[in-house]
C-alpha cells in the first residue's frame, strides 16, 4: 500500500522531472521507497536506452543513494516491474532491491573513503543513481597494504579486484563452483599472488587430478607415491588401521590387537634407543604412556615378532585366528609395491626431520609449494596420507611459534570432509577440522576447493571467512553457500547459477565488500592441466575414419598405471 502511494509520488516526480531541462539525466534516477536498515527498495523509470547507459540497474551491480553529504552504496540483487507487463506507451516503473553495503564520504583531502558501516540511513524519496567511478574505486580500495590484484570488477573493468593476503589466509578461504568454471585456475592465480607477498609461506597442495605441477613448474616440487617418504610409524592407530584394512569393513578385534602391539613395539624401540644413548636408567614399561598414536618409530619386524609371540601363547589375550589374519594383512601390505612409500626406509630410524623437510620444504629454495599428486592412489591411502600430513602441518605451525606458516590446499575437499559423517574418514576430518578451528592462531591455514559445497561438511565451510563463489547450478549447493556465509544477503548470491566462467562473487574477510569479479587472465603455462589434457592438446588433427593406434594407447595406459599403481 505504502509502496503504491510512494510509487505514485515517484511517478509524479518523474512527470515534473521530464518537464525539466535536465530531462534525460533525471530519467536515470531512482527513489528510495522503502528501507529496513539492511535493504532498500528503489523505484526507477525503466527507460529503454539504446546507449546502454542505464544498465547499472542490473543484478550484481553497486548503486549509490544520496544521503546528506554521503552516498550509501547498495548492491542490486533483485529487480522487477511494478506492473506485471511492459507498457511501451507509458513509464514502466522498476522495483529494485538493494543490500546496503556501506557508505562513501568525501574526505577533506578531496578523496573518497568507503566505510562498511552506515551512519545515516536513506530516507524515503532519497535519490538513487549510478555509482560514480571514484566512489566505486573507493569501495574497492584496499585498506591493507598486502592487497593483491586478482582480477577486475565485472561492473567496471577499469577497477581492479583485490584481496588482502593476510586476511585471506588467516581466516581460511574456499573456492566453490561447478566443474569447468575455473576453480583450479583461480587457485593457481591466488597462490601465485599470495607467495609473491609471502615468499616464506609453505603450501601443501593435495592434488587429486595431478594438474598443478604444470602450473607451478617454477615454484614448486612435486611428490608422488614414488618420491613420497612417509614412514608407517608416523601413522596414528586409526590411520594405520585404515591402510591395513584398505577401506574394507574392519575387524575390531584385529584393530584392537594392532593398537596394543604397536604400543609395545614403540615402547621397545624407545627403550632400546634410550639404552643406547645411556640416558634412561629405568626401563619403560607398558605404563610409560606410549600409545600406538605416539610419534615414536618402531620396527615392523618387532611387530611381526610380537604377533607371533601372541599366537604362540597358550592363553593369549587375542583370538589366534584373528591374529593370523592380522599378520596376513600386514604381510600383504608391507609387500605391496603401492605402499612402498610407507615401508621403503631400510633402517628404521627417527627420520621425522627428513620427512618434514621434504614435504614442507625446509629450506624452500624459492619453491615453497609442494604438490602431492594423489591421482591413482588408493582411496584409503589418500585418506590416511592427507590425515597424517594435515596433522604434521598443524603441529609444525603450532610448535614453530609463528616461524612456519603453512597453507593446506584441499582440492575436492568434499572427499575428505563430507557432510555425512559416516562416509568420511574420521582422522582426516579431525585433522582438517582442527586446522579450520584453531589453525589461524598458529599460522596453519586452510584453502578448500569443491564443486559440491552441499556435500562438504558445513562446519568446515563456515570456518572459511572468504569465499569465491563461482557458478553453481545446483539449488542445494547455492543454499549451502548462502547459509555458510554469515554476512551475505540472500539476494547477493541468488544469481550464482548464471554468472560466467572465470567470474565469481567474492565475499568475506579478505575483500572490502561483496563483489562480482572477473579473474585475471592466466598465461597458458600457469593454467592447471592434467597430463592427459596435455596429450589431447598436443594431439595431431585426427582425420575422420583414420585407424586408432590402440597399441600406443595401451602403452600409455600401462605407463600411467605403473606410475599410479592402479593396475
Ligand atoms: N583465469 C584464467 N585464465 C585463463 N584461462 C582460464 C582461467 N580460468 C579458467 N580458464 C580456462 O578454463 C579452463 C577450466 O578451468 P579450471 O580451472 O580447470 O576449472 P575447474 O577447476 O573449475 O574445473 C582452463 O583449462 C582454462 O583454459
Ligand atoms: Mg579443477
360, 215: one domain? yes
Please name which ligand lies nearest the alpha carbon of 188: 1
State in Å: Cα 222 to ligand 1 middle: 21
- Residue with CA closest to ligand 1 atom 9: 182
State in Å: Cα 425 to ligand 2 middle: 23
Closest C-alpha among 259, 338, 325, 268 to residue 301 = 268
Atom of ligand 1 nearest to the CA of 470: 22
51, 189: one domain? no
How many Å apart are CA 414 and CA 395, to the nearest integer?
A: 23
436, 418: one domain? yes
The DSSP result for 172-202, as a single string, is -EEEE--TTSSHHHHHHHHHHHHHHH-TT-E
254, 331: one domain? yes
Instruction: Check residue 302 and give its pLDDT.
Output: 92
56, 131: one domain? yes
243, 389: one domain? no
Please name which ligand lies nearest the alpha carbon of 451: 1
How many Å apart are CA 184 and CA 545, to the nearest integer?
A: 35
Instruction: Check residue 227 and give its pLDDT.
Output: 87
170, 81: one domain? no
How does DSSP classify residue 536?
A: H
Instruction: Check residue 155 and give its pLDDT.
Output: 82
Phi, psi of 170 (to 5 degrees): -70, -20
Owning domain of residue 535: 531-560
Helix (H, G, I), strand (E, B) or coil at 210: coil
How does DSSP classify residue 58?
A: S
**Best probe residue, ligand 1, of 149, 161, 182 (max atoms within 8 Å of C-beta):** 182
Q: What is the pLDDT along the chain (567 residues), one digit of tens a residue?
A: 333 333 443 344 344 444 444 555 566 789 999 999 889 999 988 776 545 555 677 777 889 999 999 999 998 888 888 888 887 777 788 899 998 989 999 999 989 999 988 999 999 999 999 899 899 999 988 878 899 999 999 888 999 999 999 999 999 999 999 999 999 999 999 999 999 999 999 999 999 999 999 999 999 999 988 888 899 999 999 999 999 998 788 899 999 999 999 999 999 988 888 777 776 555 566 667 889 998 889 999 999 999 999 999 878 888 999 999 999 999 999 998 888 889 876 556 667 888 888 899 999 899 999 999 998 787 778 889 999 999 999 999 998 888 899 999 999 999 889 988 888 888 999 999 999 999 999 999 999 999 999 999 988 998 999 999 999 988 888 888 877 655 555 445 566 777 889 999 888 889 888 888 999 999 999 999 987 544 444 455 556 777 777 876 776 565 554 444 343
Provide the domain count of the chain: 4
> Could you tell me if residue 437 is inside a domain?
yes
How many Å apart are CA 303 and CA 288, to the nearest integer?
A: 18
- Residue with CA closest to ligand 1 atom 16: 182
Contact 310, 323 (CB under 8 A): yes
> Could you tell me if residue 510 is inside a domain?
yes
522, 425: one domain? yes
> Could you tell me if residue 565 is inside a domain?
no
State in Å: Cα 189 to ligand 1 middle: 10
* Residue ranges near ligand 2 (ion) with Cβ within 5 Å: 183-184
State in Å: Cα 247 to ligand 1 middle: 33
Instruction: Check residue 53 and give its pLDDT.
Output: 57
Instruction: Check residue 62 and give its pLDDT.
Output: 87
214 lines ligand 1 (CB under 6 A): no
How many Å apart are CA 90 and CA 411, to the nearest integer?
A: 53
State in Å: Cα 311 to ligand 2 middle: 50
How many Å apart are CA 333 and CA 311, to the nearest integer?
A: 20
215, 123: one domain? no
State in Å: Cα 396 to ligand 2 middle: 28
> Which of 294, 323, 343 is a domain's end point?
343
Phi, psi of 192 (to 5 degrees): -60, -45
183 lines ligand 1 (CB under 6 A): yes
37, 114: one domain? yes
Q: Where are the alpha helices (DSSP H) in 132-288?
A: 133-139, 165-170, 183-197, 212-215, 237-244, 252-277
pTM: 0.83
Considering Cα of 520, then 526, then 531, then 537, what sign does the dihedral take? positive
Contact 31, 128 (CB under 8 A): yes
Angle at 225 between CA 348 and CA 371, to 5 degrees: 115
Contact 113, 104 (CB under 8 A): yes
273, 394: one domain? no
> Could you tell me if residue 151 is inside a domain?
no
How many Å apart are CA 161 and CA 512, to the nearest integer?
A: 10
185 lines ligand 1 (CB under 6 A): yes
State in Å: Cα 183 to ligand 2 middle: 5
284, 212: one domain? no
> Could you tell me if residue 154 is inside a domain?
no
**Best probe residue, ligand 1, of 208, 527, 536, 537 (max atoms within 8 Å of C-beta):** 527
51 lines ligand 1 (CB under 6 A): no
Instruction: Check residue 493 and give its pLDDT.
Output: 56
How many Å apart are CA 60 and CA 94, to the nearest integer?
A: 16
State in Å: Cα 190 to ligand 1 middle: 13
- Residue with CA closest to ligand 1 atom 19: 182
Residues 6 or more apart whose CB falls under 8 angstroms from that of 182 comprise 470, 501, 502, 519
452 lines ligand 1 (CB under 6 A): no
Closest C-alpha among 451, 481, 479, 443 to residue 464 = 481
Atom of ligand 1 nearest to the CA of 524: 4
Instruction: Check residue 281 and give its pLDDT.
Output: 56
State in Å: Cα 68 to ligand 2 middle: 48
**Between β-strands 39-45 and 62-67, what pairing exists: parallel, antiparallel or unpaired?**
unpaired
Closest C-alpha among 445, 418, 476 to residue 195 = 445
Amino acid at each position: 500500500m505504502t509502496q503504491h502511494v510512494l510509487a505514485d509520488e515517484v511517478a509524479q516526480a518523474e512527470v515534473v522531472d521530464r518537464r525539466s531541462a535536465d530531462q534525460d539525466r533525471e530519467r536515470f534516477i531512482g527513489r528510495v521507497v522503502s528501507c529496513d536498515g539492511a535493504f532498500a527498495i528503489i523505484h526507477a523509470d525503466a527507460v529503454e536506452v539504446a546507449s546502454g547507459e542505464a544498465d547499472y540497474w542490473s543484478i550484481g551491480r553497486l548503486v549509490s543513494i544520496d544521503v546528506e553529504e554521503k552516498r550509501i552504496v547498495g548492491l542490486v540483487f533483485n529487480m522487477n516491474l511494478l506492473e506485471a507487463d511492459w507498457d511501451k506507451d507509458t513509464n514502466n516503473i522498476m522495483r529494485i532491491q538493494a543490500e546496503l553495503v556501506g557508505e562513501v564520504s568525501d574526505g577533506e583531502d578531496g578523496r573518497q573513503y568507503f566505510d562498511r558501516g552506515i551512519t545515516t540511513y536513506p530516507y524515503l524519496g532519497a535519490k538513487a543513481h549510478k555509482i560514480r567511478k571514484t566512489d566505486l574505486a573507493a569501495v574497492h580500495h584496499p585498506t591493507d597494504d598486502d592487497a593483491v590484484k586478482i582480477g577486475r570488477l565485472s561492473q567496471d573493468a577499469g577497477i581492479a579486484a583485490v584481496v588482502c593476503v593476510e586476511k585471506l589466509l588467516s581466516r581460511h578461504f574456499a573456492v566453490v563452483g561447478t566443474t569447468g568454471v575455473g576453480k583450479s585456475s583461480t587457485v593457481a592465480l591466488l597462490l601465485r599472488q599470495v607467495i609473491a607477498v609471502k615468499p616464506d609461506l609453505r603450501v601443501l597442495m593435495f592434488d587429486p587430478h595431478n594438474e598443478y605441477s604444470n602450473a607451478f613448474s617454477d615454484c614448486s616440487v612435486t611428490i608422488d607415491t614414488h618420491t613420497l617418504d612417509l614412514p608407517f610409524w608416523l601413522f596414528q592407530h586409526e590411520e594405520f588401521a585404515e591402510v591395513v584394512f584398505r577401506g574394507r569393513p574392519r575387524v575390531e578385534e584385529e584393530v584392537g590387537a594392532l593398537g596394543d602391539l604397536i604400543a609395545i613395539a614403540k615402547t621397545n624401540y624407545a627403550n632400546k634407543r634410550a639404552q643406547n644413548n645411556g640416558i634412561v636408567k629405568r626401563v619403560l614399561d607398558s605404563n610409560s604412556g606410549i600409545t600406538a598414536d605416539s610419534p615414536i618409530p618402531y620396527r615392523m619386524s618387532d611387530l611381526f615378532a610380537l604377533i607371533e609371540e601372541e599366537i604362540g601363547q597358550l592363553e593369549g589375550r587375542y583370538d589366534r585366528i584373528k591374529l593370523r589374519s592380522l599378520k596376513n594383512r600386514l604381510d600383504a601390505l608391507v609387500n605391496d609395491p603401492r605402499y612402498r612409500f610407507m615401508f621403503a626406509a631400510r633402517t628404521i630410524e627417527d627420520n621425522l626431520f627428513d620427512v618434514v623437510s621434504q614435504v614442507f620444504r625446509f629450506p624452500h629454495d624459492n619453491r615453497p609449494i609442494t604438490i602431492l599428486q594423489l591421482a591413482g592412489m588408493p582411496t584409503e591411502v589418500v585418506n590416511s596420507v592427507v590425515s597424517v600430513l594435515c596433522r604434521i602441518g598443524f603441529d609444525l605451525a603450532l610448535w614453530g611459534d609463528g616461524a612456519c606458516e603453512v597453507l593446506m590446499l584441499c582440492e575436492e575437499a568434499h572427499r575428505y570432509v563430507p557432510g555425512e559423517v559416516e562416509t568420511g574418514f574420521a582422522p582426516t576430518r579431525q585433522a582438517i577440522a582442527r586446522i579450520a578451528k584453531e589453525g589461524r592462531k598458529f599460522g596453519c591455514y586452510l584453502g578448500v576447493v569443491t564443486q559440491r559445497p552441499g556435500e562438504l561438511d558445513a562446519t568446515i565451510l563456515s570456518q572459511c571467512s572468504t569465499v569465491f563463489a563461482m557458478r553453481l547450478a545446483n539449488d542445494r549447493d547455492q543454499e549451502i553457500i548462502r547459509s555458510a556465509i554469515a554476512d551475505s544477503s540472500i539476494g547477493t548470491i541468488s544469481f550464482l547459477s548464471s554468472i560466467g566462467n572465470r567470474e565469481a562473487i567474492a565475499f568475506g574477510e579478505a575483500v572490502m565488500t561483496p563483489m562480482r569479479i572477473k579473474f585475471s587472465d592466466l598465461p597458458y603455462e600457469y593454467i592447471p592441466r592434467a597430463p592427459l589434457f596435455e596429450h589431447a592438446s598436443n594431439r595431431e588433427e585426427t582425420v575422420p575414419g583414420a585407424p586408432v593406434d590402440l597399441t600406443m594407447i595401451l602403452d600409455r595406459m600401462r605407463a600411467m598405471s605403473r606410475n599410479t599403481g592402479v593396475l
